Structure 1
Amino acid sequence: MSGVCGIIHLDGEPVDRGVLERMANQAAYRGPGGVHYHCEGAVGIACLSLDTTADGSGACRPVIARGHSLVFAADARLDNRDECAEVFLVHSAEISSGVGAAEGPPSDAELMLGALLHDGERGPAFLIGDFAYALWDESRRELRLARDGMGMRSLYYKVESKRILFATEIKQILAVGGVPRKLNEQAVAWYLAGMQVPAGCVFYEGIEEVKPGEEVVIDSQTRVRQRIFWRPDPDNRIRYRDEREYADHLRELLVEAMRCRLRARSPVGVSLSGGMDSATIASIAGWLGERGEDVPAIRAYSWAFTDFPECDERANIYRITDRYQIPTHEIPAEETYPLVDYAAYTPHEDDPFTSMFQAFIARGVSTALADRAAVMFYGFRGDMMGGGNVSDVPGMLRAGLFGDARGELARLSRKFSFSKVSTISHYVLRPVASDLIPRQFIISGRRASQRLRPLVTREHHGEDRAIRVGPAERAVEHVRESFLRRAGLPLCDPVSLEAETWPGSAGRQRYVHVFSPLVMRGVMYAERLCAGYGIGFADPWSDRRIAEFMLACPQHWISRSTEVKRLPRHAMQGIMPPDAIKASRKVSPEPFYLHALREKAYDNVIDLMTGSCCAELGYIDEVALRERFERFKRGDAPVFDLWSTLSLEIWLRRYWS
């Protein structure tokens, strides 16, 4: 929401304030509450404040600890303020936000610095919330950069021989003289292989990303040390006597996650569909208000489909908004067709990731801005936390739930048209066999396969081509084999490799869901879009406490093929209207998108495929792409996975032509 940027000259040369201002101006929309500078000798830091709180505690300003020679800047929303306040009191006399700081409670940034002063090593893990921060220690001549474990705020840096640059957005770093613009083709390959660009992989060579849950320390000799300060504990297991206790625990966490994010000026908005994820957000906000808690008024912004009734969720939306008397603004879907006006909805300069439904999301945010909403709420990670195709039949059998296991297998067999033998093999025997193999052997084997990748080739049509294995398998057929080989994607996604430390096949699947790079990029995209309108962004489902809980739970309680999002449904009993819980389901707007490709935006799609930058750079075969699209137009081939190519093309034309 807010933003930070800075320059550290390691040779002692004074920072040119004009250069720092140029960095800040590149993201000026993040500073509607003002831009605050600390420019002292070789250190320059700017804080762009987008404070959505009513008491000013979310202000973004440089924080100074004079006795320790520290300068601190944070784009943050701190959730465990009470715990941090206890340690802040010990150091409060040493900490100052400088001239012009508002009277009132300590800011989130001040409390965070107090926690870091109290325990520099364990301090980052102690902080709970959405944050990215920079801490310059003059006495040690080192810079510390860190980012919250769920990746809700972004932070990038560039280390040069005589200076360090850091910023919330890449384009702020690019605004500095002498910073080259060179495309990172491996990031492009990840993007064309299912848009699963892993954390730490940046589209600009020479610029680095602080990973979620990571602290980066850069010293005066430009040595860089990285450490992960938070990651869920694979040994943490929760075992309750019955299912209701799991539901009660999740309910407590969801309510607390909402309370933390409702520390905002009134009103706030929620992008509301008829599914469980956003419906949970709206229902808890309404429920808290009914109980007399001091929460802002909430307004809903929802898609209204007329031409595609199969996509319309208004019946369930109004079950919730009528129950809690939430004003609802309908956004006509037919006014938000994808790609009809793609020039108005280009990706951000930092990377090509954008939603195929960006026109709707932007309309929702701009409408919320007109209503003076301080924060926009989304439920992006709800599917990953409580849904997804994670089946835990072995867990049911171990728990003695034989009837449930039998029903789950029958449902899976029908859903995927498997025979009984194939279903048992896929959902029972294979997971059990996988769990019997020591995890260190699996991890060692996967790492060895990465080293052998250059040897995995074959002859095809006279050309030496890499076999599509691992992430490259996700790349659609028009992506050139030569490009995939040149980019050198590994044989395994980093998040899948991390998941191998997790016990249980279903637990590993849930880990991959929760920390999906695609969802991570989606969250970052939405945060940037909201910031562009001067509105805060919140996703209660992306709370690290919920992630820890979901990963520690027996997976067979969370979701099943026979009852998708079983645990969230049970957790919301008594808060969400019963008929809304029963009717909530996953509704895909895919027909709306495909109609846009075939009809409404057909000419624009053809234009994006003609004289393609992607083809010119050797990423795709333009002829193969056109042929595939024409087959789709005739109804002979699916093309839902075309979005990565189209959005990349828009981005390349806008920023690289």
Structure 2
Amino acid sequence: MRSSSTPEIGLRSRAPEWTEGPVADLLGRVHLSSRREGGAGVARSSFTVMADARLDAPPPGNDQDPSPEARIGAALEAQGSEAIDHLIGDFAFGAWTQDTLILGRDSMSMRPLYYRDDGGRVEFSSRIGPLLPESGVPEVHVPAVAAFLAGASLPSDRSFFEDVVRVPPGTALRFGAGGLEGARHRQPEAPPVSTLDEEAATAELWARLRLAVAERIRGRRAGLMLSGGADSSAIAVAISELDPGERHRAMALTWSFQSLRRGDETETARWVADRSGLPLREVPGDDAWPLRGPRMPRPDLDSPFIWPFRALNDRTLDAAKEYGADVVLTGDRGDYVVGDWVYGDGRTVGAPPLPPFLSTRVREEARALRDAAAPSVDDPTGELRRARIASWAGGQIAEMNHRAYRARGVDYADPWADVRIADFVAALPPHWVNREDEPKRILLRALSGRGLDPERLTSRSPDDLFEKGLRREETDAVRALWRRSVAGDLGLVDPHVLRDTFEAYVASGTMAFDLWKPIALELWLRRIHDGEDSP
């Protein structure tokens, strides 16, 4: 698509410490020369579009150029900001004319997008680094740190840095010469669930999952992260129902533990892979404990979210690359969509206690965030399910995985993050979806109908691997983090209480509070402040 003018657009120079693997997927600077006059709709002249996108069903009005940029531009010209209601897939984009800029992203946060608005000049990027100051240390957004450490939710437009704004999921932001002028939030589909009984709803869920799987692997060699749980097993079964040409281009990968048997799911993974007709690659994990090696893992600059099993995950992605896969599927969002702690049977629980190592300032922020959220898991209307699907933490994890997978040379895709599935599930009677006595009821019923016995599925976390890293192999490295704590110097944690909490864990083996998050926070802050990768 062409622009009616030539806005300033390009890459900003950046010091080496802000560079992350490949060049940012989406990075631009647009100067809007004049404010539009007239109505609220976008100008009808052609848009210039930059996009990091994988789109599914094409929107109406463009059957010529199949590129995501052309399809997004055509949808914006035809529908304005309301195009965000109709674009389906994983996407982030910036689109502009002489006097209008629109930034948008998908509802499930599968592609990150951030911006800075300097009043007429808007810089946007799928990485935060290029938006940070050229010199000095950027200011951390304390409420985001509080949400991260306490497991709370944050408003969806907040990033981990002051002055850098996150484009909210499922939103199209419209800018003019004077700055932000309006926001269009995606309107969820309203599926006609009132005409369905539970059996028909189960069949419809499966049809939507199978479509989501097909859209993500069409024409590509695909790997599947296969655990012993229901979410990834359902994807494997869905792959087995695709056309042979697509099915035979896919393979599964699972973690294998010989000495750490509590986390081993290979027996279940072999059964599911055999049932689904997928070749299975077993990736050894006994020596891939957290913090392993001469240098600790580097959290991405954009946020402190880093998986404790990142080393093993990277090893698995490398195995997928050896197979020739260019996309790797996961079932990460399955818990958010059909499981987790959101029940439809009337049970309620209170929020867990705040970690004792939070500073007074961070504790107050965390308490305020929790007070603003619903404390109940009783969900008779489905509203809590919608909130869980769209949660800030789920989006941060998706963005983390997107960056981590891209760094290994493959695309990240999750069929459970398809908005057509999310809209449908959120509209169902909650007690059909998930119950305390029948977790993931609707999904397990769907799998039973396809000959997969839910009783044989397992869901094990490799806790032994975590313990091996923190309590045995890397204990001294963790202690070194707390001896000179950047988080403590910034008044975010109480390092003395944190040391005591860690030592209690080392002595007893019982982790009363999540200790990985303060470790990840410390590594992230050291990278920002000192450029360090290890203590």
TM-score (norm 1): 0.72
The within-5 A match list for 1:160-175 is 160-161=118-119, 163-174=121-132
Q: Say if 2:516 is the partner of 1:653.
A: no
Determine the structure 1 residue equivalent to 2:514.
641
Instruction: Tell me the SS of whatever aligns to 2:368.
Output: coil
Could you list the runs of 5+ residues in structure 2 that have no partner in the other structure? 34-41, 531-535
Q: 1:256 aligns with which of 182, 204, 211?
A: 211
Check whether the contact 2:338–2:425 (CA below 8 A) recurs between aligned residues. yes
Determine the structure 2 residue equivalent to 1:189.
146
Check whether the contact 1:496–1:512 (CA below 8 A) recurs between aligned residues. no
Q: Say if 2:500 is the partner of 1:621.
A: no
Q: 1:272 is matched by which residue type in structure 2?
A: L
Q: 2:83 aligns with which of 123, 132, 154?
A: 123
Higher helix share: 1
Q: 1:275 is matched by which residue type in structure 2?
A: G
Q: Say if 2:171 is the partner of 1:204.
A: no
- 1:299 and 1:30, CA in 2 relative to 1: closer, same or farther beyond 3 A? farther
Taking the aligned partners of 2:82 and 2:290, their CA distance within structure 1 comes to 46
Check whether the contact 2:32–2:121 (CA below 8 A) recurs between aligned residues. no
Instruction: Tell me the SS of whatever aligns to 2:72.
Output: helix
Q: Say if 2:200 is the partner of 1:245.
A: yes
Q: 2:185 aligns with which of 216, 222, 228?
A: 228
Q: Say if 2:312 is the partner of 1:354.
A: no
Q: Deviations over 1:526-554 (max 9, x none)?
A: 11101112211100001111111111111
Q: 2:62 aligns with which of 88, 93, 112?
A: 88
Taking the aligned partners of 2:70 and 2:136, their CA distance within structure 1 comes to 32
User: Relative to structure 2, which stretch is displaced further, 642-651 or 160-169?
Assistant: 160-169
Q: 2:460 aligns with which of 572, 587, 596?
A: 587
Instruction: Tell me the SS of whatever aligns to 1:157.
Output: strand
Could you list the runs of 5+ residues in structure 1 that have no partner in the other structure? 1-7, 44-64, 93-104, 395-425, 431-469
Check whether the contact 1:194–1:474 (CA below 8 A) recurs between aligned residues. no
Q: Deviations over 1:327-354 (max 9, x none)?
A: 2222222121112238352110111111
- 1:216 and 1:16, CA in 2 relative to 1: closer, same or farther beyond 3 A? closer
Determine the structure 2 residue equivalent to 1:306.
258
Instruction: Tell me the SS of whatever aligns to 2:286.
Output: helix
Determine the structure 1 residue equivalent to 2:277.
325
Instruction: Tell me the SS of whatever aligns to 2:464.
Output: helix
The within-5 A match list for 1:59-70 is 68-70=45-47
- 1:526 and 1:38, CA in 2 relative to 1: closer, same or farther beyond 3 A? closer
| Cα shift at 1:321 | 1.5
Taking the aligned partners of 1:298 and 1:477, their CA distance within structure 2 comes to 46
Determine the structure 1 residue equivalent to 2:345.
393
Determine the structure 2 residue equivalent to 1:287.
241
Q: Say if 2:511 is the partner of 1:557.
A: no
Check whether the contact 2:113–2:166 (CA below 8 A) recurs between aligned residues. yes
Check whether the contact 2:338–2:443 (CA below 8 A) recurs between aligned residues. yes
Count matched residues: 518
Taking the aligned partners of 1:166 and 1:523, their CA distance within structure 2 comes to 19
Instruction: Tell me the SS of whatever aligns to 2:241.
Output: helix
Q: Deviations over 1:287-314 (max 9, x none)?
A: 214xx35456112221112222222111
- 1:18 and 1:188, CA in 2 relative to 1: closer, same or farther beyond 3 A? closer
Q: 1:478 aligns with which of 354, 357, 361?
A: 357
Q: 1:19 aligns with which of 5, 8, 12?
A: 12
Instruction: Tell me the SS of whatever aligns to 1:114.
Output: helix
Instruction: Tell me the SS of whatever aligns to 1:230.
Output: coil
Taking the aligned partners of 1:495 and 1:229, their CA distance within structure 2 comes to 22
- 1:556 and 1:574, CA in 2 relative to 1: closer, same or farther beyond 3 A? closer
Q: 1:322 is matched by which residue type in structure 2?
A: D
Q: 2:213 is matched by which residue type in structure 1?
A: M
Q: Deviations over 1:44-78 (max 9, x none)?
A: xxxxxxxxxxxxxxxxxxxxx99814211221111
Higher Cα radius of gyration: 1
Check whether the contact 2:288–2:465 (CA below 8 A) recurs between aligned residues. no
Check whether the contact 2:49–2:72 (CA below 8 A) recurs between aligned residues. no
Check whether the contact 2:481–2:522 (CA below 8 A) recurs between aligned residues. yes
Q: 1:359 is matched by which residue type in structure 2?
A: A
Taking the aligned partners of 1:158 and 1:526, their CA distance within structure 2 comes to 23
- 1:342 and 1:536, CA in 2 relative to 1: closer, same or farther beyond 3 A? farther
The within-5 A match list for 1:40-189 is 68-81=45-58, 84=59, 86-89=60-63, 106-138=66-98, 141-161=99-119, 163-174=121-132, 177=134, 181-189=138-146
Check whether the contact 1:531–1:537 (CA below 8 A) recurs between aligned residues. yes
Determine the structure 2 residue equivalent to 1:567.
442
Check whether the contact 2:154–2:369 (CA below 8 A) recurs between aligned residues. no
| Cα shift at 1:592 | 2.9
Taking the aligned partners of 2:252 and 2:185, their CA distance within structure 1 comes to 37
Q: Percent identity?
A: 28
TM-score (norm 2): 0.87
Taking the aligned partners of 1:354 and 1:317, their CA distance within structure 2 comes to 25
Q: Say if 2:368 is the partner of 1:490.
A: yes
